[in-house]
Every structure is written in C-alpha cells, then in structure tokens.
Structure 1
Amino acid sequence: MSAPVPSRWGPRWSRWVGRFLARVLWRTEVRGRGNVPATGAAIVVCNHVGLIDGPVVHGVIPRGSHFLIREGMMSGPLGTILNAAQQITVRESGREALAQGLAVLRRGDVIGVFPEGTRGGGTAEAVHGGAAWLAIQSGAPVVPTAIVGSRRTGESVNVWPRPGRRLLVAFGEPVVLTPPDDVRGGRAKQAWAAERLAETLRDQVTRTLDTTDLELPLDDPRRETREEKDHV
C-alpha cells in the first residue's frame, strides 16, 4: 500500500510559523525570492548547517513546501508539529519518501531537500542523490539555496540561536537537470544529475558567501567524526 500524498493544508499554516521564526525571532535577510517559480513543481535544495535551517527556509519560501526529513526528527513534540505540517518522513532506504515527494511535484507543488543529509559545515562537499532522482523523474526545476548564520564555529549542530541573530537565505536561479544525449542509462543519468546538482549547490553557497560578512562554521562535526573513525 502506497503512502498518502501529503496534504497542502500543512504548509499553509506551518510556513507562517517558519516565517515568524525567520523574520521576528531572528533577523533573516532573504535574497532571490523571485527565483522560486510562482506556480508549478519546484525542488528547493539547500545546504545544511544547523537545527533551525528547515523551519527558516520553509518559512521564507514564497509558497507552501514539503521537506524530506529524516525519521529521527519525526518523534516527540517536534515530530508532532512536523507531521501536522505534512512534512515527509525519510525512513530506511527513503523510497517511500521519494515516492511521496514525486507525487507532490506531479501535483505542481514544492519539495524541499537538504541533500547533504545531516547538519554540518554547510559546504555541500558531498550530497545524496534523492533530490537528483526527483528532478529527473519529475522534470521540475531545482532552486539551489544557501543558508548562512544558523550555526557558528564551535556551536552544536543542535543549537537554537539567541533571538536577533542575523541569518541569510539566498535562492539561486532555477536549473533543470536534463542529461545530455550521450549520457544513457538510468544509473548514468542519475550520476550525472547528482553531480550537476552538487556543483550547482556549491556554486550558490560560494556566491552567497562572497557577498556577505556572515560565514559558515569552520568546524564540521560530520567530517571530524569520520576522521576519528579513520584513525581508530
């Protein structure tokens, strides 16, 4: 039995919660809102730095959106809110979540993805292929998005910043991931799209950093954990 398609009603109220957090609790500058298509399917892909990235980006996207969120976040009081907001739970292989995401896109709505998979340095050095798969299957444009300021060097990836912190969310120009004719076969197209998406997101992050005094954290707990394991 397939999972139900998320309802549009959740984002209709929850984006205003995110907007309050972004605009009132914190001081979020938003650039490139016009790059998010006003109608039709779209995939917002964003780097991932801290705990508040999801609600902030959800709040400043000029339309309702459904984000793919890992299962560990979907429990307790926060999980209750996220489920009521009709966000999409990523379980195990993620196939069910991708199917739900594709259904949302085919309905003409917005999907949000943090393709790095977890919070860290936000440099988009490595991304997972789910967003690329959605782009290929749906034909929807990808909007590369950068968030800066939600976590500073030395802060936990679970930090809830003090009120008034400056944040920046910058939406880049949408890109349609259409593999060239010489790229054949499903796996080759998927690999091409994943690499193109990663490059596009990294470019957006770099361009954003070049135009602000805000910075990404210099530490990346994910990389440090991997390095520790490599030396055990």
Structure 2
Amino acid sequence: MSHLDRPSSSAVAHPPRAMLTRLRPTARQVIRRRWDVAVHFPERMPAAGPVVLAANHIGVLDGPLLAIFAPRPVHALTKQEMFEGRTGRFLHRSGQIPLDRYAADPRAIRTALRVLRDGGVVGVFPEGTRGDGELRTFHHGAAYLALVTGAPVVPAVFLGSREPGGGIDSVPARGCRIDLVLGESVTPGAASWPRTRGMVRDASMLLRERLAATLEEARRTTGRDLPGPLPAGQAEDDPATGLVDEGPR
C-alpha cells in the first residue's frame, strides 16, 4: 500500500473535501459577479489520478482562485499564519493544508502525500510568498511531492489577480479580468527512498523551467504581463531555501 511507503502517510487523514467539492460551483458564480475570471487550457489537467498543481503567486486571491477555478478540487499548501480565527476555520473545513514555512513540517508533507496517494490534487506556490511572479525563488516542495508519488506536475500562471502597483493585499477593481493559464504537465518520475538533495534540486530546476515556459505562453495567450514588484516595504519574509535567482526569466 502506497501510504506505507516512506514517508508514510497512513497516520494522517485526508483533509476534508465535501465542502470544497460541494461549494465550488456556487463560489465560481459569486466570484464571477465581481471579476471576469478566465481559465485557459483546462484540458491540460489530468481528469483523474494524483496531480501537483504548481502556480506562480502574485496576489492574495491566488489561493482561493486556484481551489475554486482549477478543473478539479485543490488542497493547497497554505501558510499556517492564515489558519486563525474565522478564516482559519474556513480553510480547515475546505480542506486546505497548513504549512510552517520556517521549519521542517512533516505533518504538512504527509497530509499532501495522503491527498496525492488517494488520487487527489495538491496545490503548491513554489515562490513561497506573494511577489512579482517572476519565479526568482523556487522552493522544492512541488518537486519533492512529485518524486515521492510519481505524480505529474501541472504548471499554472495567474495574470491580473493583482494590478500593477497594487499592494500585497490588494485585489483588482470590480469587472477586471483575471486569467489562470494551465501549462503542459511534466512528470519528473518517482524516485525510491532515499531521495537525495541532488534529485530534488534537479526536479525543481525542471519544474521551474516548465513554469517559466508557461508564464511566457500566458503572456502570449492573454497579451498581459505580471504586475511588477510589490511596493517598497511590503515584501513578506520568506526562508532562503530552494532555487534562488537562477533559471529563465
């Protein structure tokens, strides 16, 4: 049984999924009353089986939009700071996965593996935090999950979820267009235990290259571009791990 493979995911439960699945159609209708959301190339998402969905991260709307508008329900790795109060209760009930970005988080990894080994979709923002979306930092989580499970990775690009010059928590004006562009899937291939740092780094480089290619395709398809850097002083702290300032731009 795959849940017993290292690292084991047999001791963690699959995140709640009933509300996530049930509310997606209604949530889409509500969001589309405010913004013109367009999903490009949804057929590139495998219709069944495990998938890692790796997206750029430019605005506060990206997580909810990924969970609601991706062709299949998404359990996204989400910074644990969001899991407080009413918002935190909603994130838990909708099946999102809390992640400690500043320390090893075995429970988050095992929960994500549980979703994938059960044939579900895990959303990852490899940049780690909101920014200009240019993939200057690319953490290893998506690559690691793909190597452990053999799941394909579908790159995804947001354009328009933060307007040029907008602050870290800004959202587009009512009626604005938001594009979600899916790229061609890539499968780094499963690697048996033990997985080396070199394996993970090589897989991360491949995934960043594919996500960068999807970004260029998104620019051509939509005629739009990224919003540029956040205003001075608004960049979030983020651990300096993964690939930094390498690869295509």
TM-score by length of 2: 0.82
Q: Is the 8 A contact 1:43 1:140 kept in 2?
A: yes
Hey, what does 1:215 align to over in structure 2?
Answer: 225
Which amino acid letter does the alignment assign opposite residue 116 of structure 1? E
1:30 aligns with 2:45: no
Q: Is the 8 A contact 1:125 1:202 kept in 2?
A: no
**Matched positions, count:** 223
Which amino acid letter does the alignment assign opposite residue 214 of structure 2? Q
Picking from 175, 185, 197, the partner of 1:187 is 197
Hey, what does 1:88 align to over in structure 2?
Answer: 97
Q: Is the 8 A contact 1:18 1:57 kept in 2?
A: no
| CA RMSD between the two structures | 2.4
Q: Determine helix, strand or coil for the equivalent of 1:25.
A: coil
Which amino acid letter does the alignment assign opposite residue 106 of structure 1? R
CA distance in 2, matches of 1:22, 1:45: 22
CA distance in 1, matches of 2:232, 2:137: 11
TM-score by length of 1: 0.88
Q: CA deviation at 1:54?
A: 1.0
Hey, what does 1:144 align to over in structure 2?
Answer: 155
When structure 1 is superposed on structure 2, of 19-28 and 118-127 the one drifting more is: 19-28
When structure 1 is superposed on structure 2, of 3-12 and 213-222 the one drifting more is: 213-222
CA distance in 2, matches of 1:223, 1:199: 29
- The 1:14/1:127 distance shift into structure 2, 3 A limit, reads farther
1:102 aligns with 2:113: yes
Q: Is the 8 A contact 2:160 2:172 kept in 1?
A: no
- Alignment deviations for residues 27-66 of structure 1 (CA, whole Å, 9 cap, x no partner): 0111110011111111111000000011112111121110
- The 1:225/1:108 distance shift into structure 2, 3 A limit, reads closer
Unmatched runs of 5 consecutive residues or more in structure 2: 1-9, 237-249
Q: Is the 8 A contact 2:57 2:133 kept in 1?
A: yes
- Alignment deviations for residues 101-135 of structure 1 (CA, whole Å, 9 cap, x no partner): 01110000111111111001011121110111000
Q: Is the 8 A contact 1:144 1:172 kept in 2?
A: yes
Which structure's residues are more often helix, by fraction? 1
Q: CA deviation at 1:3?
A: 3.8
**Percent identity between the two aligned chains:** 34
Picking from 155, 158, 161, the partner of 2:169 is 158
- The 1:31/1:65 distance shift into structure 2, 3 A limit, reads same
Hey, what does 1:10 align to over in structure 2?
Answer: 19
Which amino acid letter does the alignment assign opposite residue 17 of structure 2? R
How do residues 186-205 of structure 1 correspond to structure 2 at under 5 angstroms?
A: 186-205=196-215
CA distance in 2, matches of 1:224, 1:11: 31
CA distance in 1, matches of 2:222, 2:95: 33
1:69 aligns with 2:64: no
Unmatched runs of 5 consecutive residues or more in structure 1: 227-232
- The 1:55/1:185 distance shift into structure 2, 3 A limit, reads closer
Q: Determine helix, strand or coil for the equivalent of 1:137.
A: helix
- Alignment deviations for residues 166-197 of structure 1 (CA, whole Å, 9 cap, x no partner): 010011111101389xxx96221111111111
CA distance in 2, matches of 1:205, 1:53: 15
1:119 aligns with 2:123: no
Q: Determine helix, strand or coil for the equivalent of 1:55.
A: helix
